[in-house]
Amino acid sequence: MRMSKALSLMLGGMLLISSLVLFAVPAIADSDNRTGGEGQGPWSDDGGESPDVPGQSNEVYQKGVNKSLMGKMSYAYGYGQGGFVFYTVDEGNGTITTYGLFTSEGEKVLIDSISVEGFIPADIDVHGSIAKLIEGGTIAVIHDNPTGMYHLFVEEAANVTLALSGDMVVTENKVLNESNNLTYQLIVSDGVSGGVIASDDPFEVSENGTVIECNVTEHLMVRFLPQVAHRHQWMEMALMQAIQEGRVAAEVTLLAGDDGGIYDTVSYRQELNVQVRNIVRNSFELTAQGENAQGALMLVHTEMGTMDMSQDRLRVRLNDQDMRCSEDPLELMYGQPEDACYTVIDDGEVQQLLLYLPASFLGSVTVESVDPLAELFSPMGVAIMIGAVALVALAGVMAFRKR
């Protein structure tokens, strides 16, 4: 009888401590093979990779292309094309013509021409999903993804002229608070496709809303709504609105395998720099540096094979402190929460993670998908279990001897 009670005590203790180990062991981040590339400072629109297996980056990249997460730009003899965007460059004067998107109805030209006065590119650099037209401190970045995006950066003021194509016209001209980035906003549409043209400098619109001029002193952005079937269209429109209003600090696209991954970044704020530090399957780290005077919203695009965002597994931390999970994406975009929080937009295989940092909050954001069983059978988890078993066995022996 005494032996039976002692064994029962030992078994019950083992189950109790094992359950505590299962749910209470902190996540142990594997720091090996996490040497992601770094961005190039404020206003860098670039990408990087952390390949540890030869050929893996190409495989991961192709997966991103297949799922409409990553673009893949090509350029030759004045003609550029990606999975979403196409355009022509007059290399003699730098003018971009026939700028458009691939749609379900075929090629659709949205802008007839984009001309920057005095800008003749000395170099055209194609990398991943972007093409950069470079002349000194003036850089025009054409993105395949985010869809249909043109981003111009200047060191000295330059006159820019855009001629819209077809039935595309300016439907709204608005001015935000001048303390924001992208203060001046033009909404353009032909009733089917829509986009935004934005700058820190005012626009002049003529010829029935089809010709736009701007004396750009810092930067100008052209961005069209993506025409990708598997994404929530209402969410894309809400995110576009958030970008227009200066709420989004950066967009990041991540894809990873077991031994590393690749990423693309797009910055929207000059004073805030968001970089990808580390990336591997089910784990990545971002850093936000600079100034965050009004609260920063970061948008991360990824997919299920890179990051399992199940709520019971996802751990999101800012400077080693857990961030709150919100069920409502609109709270992050428009609610201006007082605490750091995140939400997940799940489209099946394709997922988006929204991260919100309140005003004056900066630092390192780590995101991990934690498998409880993996933690349980990790070296530390096994060591704790062995110690727990030994402790319970000793307690059982002591109890048996006392009886």
Q: Which two tokens stand for residue 208?
A: 């029935």
Judgement on whether residues 56 and 121 belong to the same structural domain of the protein: no
What pLDDT does 6 receive?
45
Residue 206 resides in a domain? yes
Residue where one domain finishes, among candidates 195, 227, 259: 227
Residue 54: exposure state from Cβ atoms within 10 A (0-12, 13-18, ≥19)? exposed
Judgement on whether residues 94 and 215 belong to the same structural domain of the protein: yes
What pLDDT does 5 receive?
45
Judgement on whether residues 333 and 363 belong to the same structural domain of the protein: yes
Q: Which two tokens stand for residue 383?
A: 């060591």
Identify the domain containing residue 398 by its residue range. Answer: 2-24+379-402
How many C-alpha atoms does 372 have within 13 Å on its Cβ side? 11
Judgement on whether residues 187 and 329 belong to the same structural domain of the protein: no
Q: Under the phi-then-psi rule, with left for phi > 0, alpha for psi from -120 to 50, and beta for the rest, what region is 387?
A: alpha
Residue where one domain finishes, among candidates 227, 259, 286: 227
What pLDDT does 204 receive?
96
In terms of DSSP bridges, do strands 363-369 and 314-318 run parallel, antiparallel, or are they unpaired?
A: antiparallel
SS3 384: helix
Residue 374 resides in a domain? no
Residue 88 resides in a domain? yes
Q: What is the pTM of this model?
A: 0.68
Residue where one domain finishes, among candidates 200, 227, 254: 227
The domain total for the chain is: 3
Distance, in Å, from the CA atom of 268 to the CA atom of 220, rounded to the nearest integer, reads 10
Residue 92: exposure state from Cβ atoms within 10 A (0-12, 13-18, ≥19)? exposed
Peptide bond into 202 cis (omega under 30): no
The closest alpha carbon to 146, from 282, 246, 238, 45, belongs to 45
Question: Which of the 8 DSSP states describes residue 400?
Answer: H
What is the tens place of the pLDDT at every residue in 219-270? Answer: 899 988 765 554 556 667 777 777 777 778 888 888 888 778 888 888 787 7
Judgement on whether residues 250 and 365 belong to the same structural domain of the protein: yes
What pLDDT does 257 receive?
80
What is the tens place of the pLDDT at every residue in 114-143? Answer: 999 999 999 999 887 889 999 988 999 998
What is the tens place of the pLDDT at every residue in 385-403? Answer: 576 666 666 666 565 555 5
169 within 8 A of 210, measured Cβ to Cβ: yes
Contacts of 288 (CB under 8 A, 6+ apart): 249, 272, 273, 274, 296, 298, 357, 362, 363, 365
What single-letter amino acid sits at 349? E
Judgement on whether residues 171 and 223 belong to the same structural domain of the protein: yes
The closest alpha carbon to 298, from 275, 270, 280, belongs to 275
Distance, in Å, from the CA atom of 88 to the CA atom of 98, rounded to the nearest integer, reads 6
219 within 8 A of 158, measured Cβ to Cβ: no
Judgement on whether residues 138 and 237 belong to the same structural domain of the protein: no
What single-letter amino acid sits at 55? G
Judgement on whether residues 318 and 364 belong to the same structural domain of the protein: yes
Between the alpha carbon of residue 266 and those of residues 44, 227, 229, 243, the distances in Å are 7, 19, 22, 12
Q: Which two tokens stand for residue 155?
A: 């060191």
Phi, psi of 9 (to 5 degrees): -60, -45
Judgement on whether residues 192 and 84 belong to the same structural domain of the protein: yes
Distance, in Å, from the CA atom of 112 to the CA atom of 179, rounded to the nearest integer, reads 32
Residue found under tokens 């970008």: 243
| Spans of the chain below 50 pLDDT | 1-45, 51-54, 230, 374-377
Residue 199 resides in a domain? yes
Judgement on whether residues 127 and 161 belong to the same structural domain of the protein: yes
Judgement on whether residues 12 and 155 belong to the same structural domain of the protein: no
The closest alpha carbon to 260, from 69, 70, 65, 54, belongs to 54
Judgement on whether residues 116 and 61 belong to the same structural domain of the protein: no
Residue 7 resides in a domain? yes
Distance, in Å, from the CA atom of 140 to the CA atom of 384, rounded to the nearest integer, reads 56
